[in-house]
Amino acid sequence: MGGNSDMKLIDENGIRIDGRKVDELRPIRIEAGVLKSADGSAYVEIGKNKVLAAVYGPRECHPRHMQNPAKAIVQCKYNMISFSVSDRKRPGPDRRSVEISKLISEAMEYVVFTENFPRTSIDVYIEVLQANAGTRCAGLTAASVALADAGIPMKDVVPAVAVGKVNDQVVLDLNKEEDNFGQADLPIAIIPRTGEVLLMQMDGHMTQAEFDRGLEMGVRACSEIYRLQKDALRRRYAVVSGEGEEETKGLVHAMTEEA
Amino acid sequence: MARSVVSEIKRDHIHRLIADGRRVDGRAWDQYREIMVQTNVVETAEGSARVKIGNTEVIVGLKMTVGEPFPDTPNRGVLSTNAELIPMASPSFESGPPDENSIELARVVDRGIRESQMIDLERLCVEPGKKVWINFLDIYVLDFDGNLFDACNLGAVAAIKSATVPAKANGLGEDFPMPVTCTPVAVTSVQIENSILVDPTLDEEKVAAARLTVTTDDNGDLRAMQKGLSGALTLEQVRTAIDTSRRLGAEIRKLIG
């Protein structure tokens, strides 16, 4: 949060620099089952964010001393690839990614029925291919689709989104400029089935009223993302059962054409 | 890579098919898997590519900054190649600093690009002895089903060819396309049961005795080679692998021409 409110990020008509209204999400694309080696995987694009998630497990827990005799542990690793940001990031974990990994692990551990798989580890790898604010939310959104794709029993699929404050207005799904020069950032993840909050962080400055409005906006957006997550899973299994084959072929085709 | 255990029934199956002149996925010995190349997939990189060879998938990005040249090459840009075998790609990959496999992989890819003089490094000199372009070529393996050498080479070459030098953002005049002189292509073969098979899948790699990667340039000349695994190759087998590499290299070059 630069807190630099001189920078004009919303115009007189309430339109943001990328053309969105204050309560509008960036375009979202979600695909399940995109990798072969992983037990489950997902690809998520939210605006200019591109995120891949892969799940391995339940499998033997390494290191051994982390094993829990009563349940599985969920180990998420969030990582940004070196060329996902404007200045090259040195490969490997930094303090920021360690913190995000911990939060996402704790969040996912709550929704997975870990007691079904004692002594095992469920490993989730999140790789940010291209970053443009909101990568932890995109990562969590992808991770829960990948877990579902791996066939791991869960209480629910988890959507996540960030809300924030820009030019004294509460806005949904901050882009990079809004994240850098806005006044507050509030990433949240919810369990749509119960309405419980699974992840919440905040930095910046918001009044109680602004927070309430932001939260309400975020929860509404989460139900939209939730719909897209379930859609992606349905499409994935339509492919397995032979219904959605056309669509997959179209995608492969598109990929070759762009080359 | 990662010589993890392979079940005896699978090993026998692969051997028996080869004795019969066949492969698990029905390919001929000198037949490559389907290749997909997509360039400019990451906007934050100066050049990028996502490549699939069968089920093997890699993403490569090139980042460029201005920095100091090495003292012994004061008028040439710098190339630094790095490969990451991230745990997303395979149950046998672990997180942590690059291990011997990823270092060998990065060095073989680097050698093909460097020795073919694919990048005209002299044109990446800004001020001799003081300022040159530094190229960070980062390779991430996303899905591992064998033959990383070829996939990473192809991704790296495609990423370089798609790159734009960010001169404007560095206050050095107008952006210009990466100065590229040729297209080095690596083709890898393995020896199983005294047969030479091109573009091995993961299972084939696991039972292979020896591996040979041959990188050729636009003229079909050899630019880099790397023999791997603990077996040996006959001279005849080496010739077969090189012939295959030159022939298939020319085909693959057309894809990213």
What are the extents of the domains in chain B?
Answer: 27-256
Alpha carbon separation from A194 to A141, A148, A214, A233 (Å, rounded) = 17, 18, 19, 20
* Among B142, B144, B160, the residue to mutate for chain A (most A Cβ within 10 A): B142
Cβ proximity of B46 and B164 under 8 Å: yes
Task: Count chain A–chain B contacts defined by CB atoms under 8 A.
Answer: 93
E runs forming strands in chain A: 28-32, 40-46, 49-60, 73-80, 120-130, 160-166, 169-172, 184-191, 196-200, 203-204
Average pLDDT over residues B150-158: 98
Confidence band (pLDDT; 50, 70, 90) for A255?
very low
Whole domain around residue A186: which residue ranges? 28-258
State whether residue B45 sits within 8 Å of chain A by CB. yes
Statement: residue A3 has pLDDT above 70? no
* A5 inside domain: no
E runs forming strands in B68-158: 78-84, 125-127, 131-143
Q: Residue with structure tokens 């094993």?
A: A67
Residues 6+ away with beta carbon under 8 Å from B242: B214, B222
pLDDT, one tens digit per residue, over A133-177 is: 999 999 999 999 999 999 999 999 999 999 999 999 999 999 999
CA B88/CA A22 separation, integer angstroms: 36
**Looking at residue A116, what DSSP letter applies?**
G
* A152 inside domain: yes
pLDDT, one tens digit per residue, over B181-194 is: 999 999 999 999 89
Average pLDDT over residues A222-233: 97
Residue in chain B nearest A34 by alpha carbon: B143
Q: How many CB atoms are closer than 10 A to CB A17?
A: 14
* A21 inside domain: no
Q: How remote is the C-alpha of B76 from its chain's centroid?
A: 23
B27-256 is a CATH 3.30.230.70 domain: yes
The pLDDT value recorded for residue A252 is: 39
Q: How far is A195 from chain B (nearest CA, A)?
A: 31
The pLDDT value recorded for residue A240 is: 62
**Looking at residue A241, what DSSP letter applies?**
T
The pLDDT value recorded for residue A238 is: 87
State whether residue A92 sits within 8 Å of chain B by CB. yes
* A42 inside domain: yes
* Among B43, B44, B93, the residue to mutate for chain A (most A Cβ within 10 A): B44
Residue in chain A nearest B202 by alpha carbon: A37
Whether ipTM > 0.95 holds is no
Lowest mean pLDDT among A9-18, A175-184, A243-252: A243-252
Average pLDDT over residues A31-58: 97
Compute the mean pLDDT over every residue in chain B, rounded to the nearest whole number: 95
- What residues in B contact A130, CB-CB < 8 Å? 41-44
State whether residue B59 sits within 8 Å of chain A by CB. yes
* A22 inside domain: no
Confidence band (pLDDT; 50, 70, 90) for A4?
low
Average pLDDT over residues B144-151: 97
* A6 inside domain: no
Residue in chain A nearest B159 by alpha carbon: A259
Alpha helices in chain B (DSSP H): 8-19, 100-115, 148-161, 202-207, 235-256
Q: How far is A93 from chain B (nearest CA, A)?
A: 9
Average pLDDT over residues A48-68: 94
CATH of the domain at A43: 3.30.230.70
Q: How many domains does chain A have?
A: 1
Peptide bond into A58 cis (omega under 30): yes
Judged by DSSP in three states, A135 sits in: helix
State whether residue B32 sits within 8 Å of chain A by CB. no
